[in-house]
Amino acid sequence: MRKALVCVIALVAVAVPAAAVAQPAAVKPVVVSITAVNARPVGGIKRVTVKKGQTVRVVVTTNVGSTVHLHGYNIEKPVKKGAPTVMVFVAKATGSFELALHPMDATLAQITVKP
């Protein structure tokens, strides 16, 4: 019984620090904020580069349009005029992807995902 207790204490002493080290630090998403007026992004088309595996949070505020569409990822979000529209995705596919405001097909951003 005493040996079993010593073994349990030893395992706990080893496991607790290992568990603390194994936890990765929380990674903040890459945030892309875009304001569009009459289908034109204020300040021009946003050009953003992220690494594969990163979480990307796109926030679009516009006065026109019905949807925001990320080509290549086929993610589409309805737009509420004047209110922020949020699109969150993990950058899994590499390449360059256009974020467009539909139905006018206005380019808001170019998101490049590197390996």
Give the predicted TM-score (pTM) of the model: 0.76
All structural domains of the chain, each given as residue ranges with its CATH number in brackets, are: 30-114 (2.60.40.420)
Percentage with pLDDT > 90 across the chain: 76
Q: What is the pLDDT of residues 31-45, one digit of tens each?
A: 999 999 999 999 999
Q: Do 68 and 85 contact (CB within 8 A), yes or no?
A: yes
CA distance 106 to 11: 60
State the pLDDT at residue 5.
44
DSSP-assigned beta bridge partners for residue 113: 50, 95
Instruction: State the DSSP code for 4.
Output: H
Give yes or no for residue 4 having a pLDDT over 50: no
Any residues with CB less than 8 A from the CB of 100 and at least 6 apart, and which? 68, 69, 71, 106, 107, 108
pLDDT band of residue 27 (cuts 50, 70, 90) is confident
pLDDT-derived band at 8 (thresholds 50, 70, 90) equals: very low
pLDDT the model gives residue 6:
44
Range 64-90 average pLDDT: 96
Q: What is the pLDDT, as a whole number, of residue 3? A: 56
Determine the pLDDT at residue 25: 61
- CB-hemisphere CA count at 13 Å for 49? 2
